[in-house]
Amino acid sequence: MRIGYMTDGGRRRPTNEDAVKVMEDVNFYMLADGVGGNRSGEIASQSALDALEKFIRHNPPEWLDGRDEIFRYLRAAVRYVNQFIIRLSESKPQYSGMATTLAFAYIRDGEMYVANVGDSRVYLIHDGLIQQITDDHTYVNDLVKMGAISREEAHHHARKNVITRAIGANANNEPDCFSVPVNSGDRVLLCSDGLYDEVDDETILHTVGRFDDMMICAEDLVSLANDNGGNDNISVICINLAED
């Protein structure tokens, strides 16, 4: 696998509240976006990824057997991270109310296992098509699923960035978990909303398909988001599943 990743502050925000972490030795890839408007978003996002890495290092996933067992592991990991952020938010007044999105992928034996809380996304690009694996935990996505508004209306909705689930927001945050088969030559993309709010899926598909070097791909995606406004922090992890 070939990996590229980048996080950038964008052009409008005074701080970068996104964070990314790659654990290539165990095939875990993770991304977090501190919730806008809450205190210490940059602390929440980085601390969540550090806590997730600690959980994985202390509970290696190699022994897991089967989809259900892996899903239980992913949910346990999110519960651990959620409790860690809640305790951290209670440790200092300036951390009160901190929260973050979290999305991560575990790739093993031709399968990708994904968990997410919030609106950071995981995409799979296979056979020239792009598929969003995760489901956004947002107010407008709930409206779309109810049929109240269209996806196009959601993209321009005044409350499009209001999320309904976040790490640290409450004690009972459960992730959505997914599994999809992956093949040699597929691409995987993890990203924050700073990318997909500025760059449409077709452009993402074209860009990710252009490069074998995933670091160049990551840099190009971030540049596209900035060229289109850069209204938020932008983070990407690009994975090329081609065999070395």
Tens of pLDDT, residue by residue over 177-233, are 999 999 999 999 999 999 999 999 999 999 999 999 999 999 999 999 999 999 999
Say what the pLDDT of residue 242 is. Answer: 79
> Do the Cβ atoms of 151 and 208 come closer than 8 Å?
no
| Per-residue pLDDT band at 173 (split at 50, 70, 90) | confident
Mean pLDDT across 42-66: 95
Which tokens hold the place of 51? Answer: 């806590």
Which tokens hold the place of 219? Answer: 């840099």
Question: Above 80 in pLDDT, residue 156?
Answer: no
**Model pLDDT for residues 56-83, shown as the tens digit of each residue:** 999 999 889 999 999 999 999 999 999 9
Output 133 or 13, whichever has higher pLDDT: 133
Number of independent structural domains in the chain? 1
DSSP, residue by residue, 42-88: HHHHHHHHHHHHHHHHHS-GGG--SHHHHHHHHHHHHHHHHHHHHHH
Q: Where are the alpha helices (DSSP H) in the chain?
A: 41-58, 67-89, 139-146, 151-155, 193-196, 201-210, 214-227
Residue 188 maps to which CATH number? Answer: 3.60.40.10
Output 243 or 145, whichever has higher pLDDT: 145
Domain of residue 137: give its range.
5-9+14-240
Choice among 23-37, 46-60, 65-79 with the minimum mean pLDDT: 23-37
Burial 84-115 (b: 16+ CB within 10 A, else e): bbbebbeeeeebeebbbbbbbbbbeeeebbbb
| Per-residue pLDDT band at 170 (split at 50, 70, 90) | confident
Which tokens hold the place of 132? Answer: 């969003």
Say what the pLDDT of residue 24 is. Answer: 95
